[in-house]
Amino acid sequence: MLTKGAIEDLVMSHLSRNCPGGAAPAPGRGACPAKKVFVSDWELKRLYKPGARSVTVPANAIISPLSLDWLEYNGVEVLRN
């Protein structure tokens, strides 16, 4: 059975024309695109340490709207690394 992460990896490898597993390289294309990370409300609450005023997420992370609302409500700052 394929997991969510395995499916994301398959899709990214086939969409990226310059990466292994993709089609022939497109002319004028650069290196492989960086993989975007989606941070859901559940994942963000796992990253958050009670009492902390900030939470660290990957620099290219996409944070869900529900997570952003939760962060704003609790006064938590997002740090991207």
DSSP letter string, 10-50: HHHHHH-TTSTTSSSPPTT--SPPPPPEEE-HHHHHHHPPT
Classify 6 as helix, strand or coil.
helix
User: Beta strands 54-57 and 77-80: pairing type?
Assistant: parallel
Specify the pLDDT at position 56: 93
The pLDDT tens digits for 14-66 are 666 555 544 555 555 555 556 778 999 999 989 899 999 999 999 889 999 99
pLDDT of residue 5: 79
More confident residue, 63 or 3: 63
Residue 53 is classified by DSSP as S
The predicted structure's pLDDT at residue 24: 52
Q: Where are the domains of the chain?
A: 1-29, 36-81
* Dihedral sign computed on CA atoms, order 76, 79, 80, 81: negative
pTM higher than the cut 0.85 = no
- At residue 4, the pLDDT reads 81
Q: Which residue has better confidence, 13 or 30? A: 13
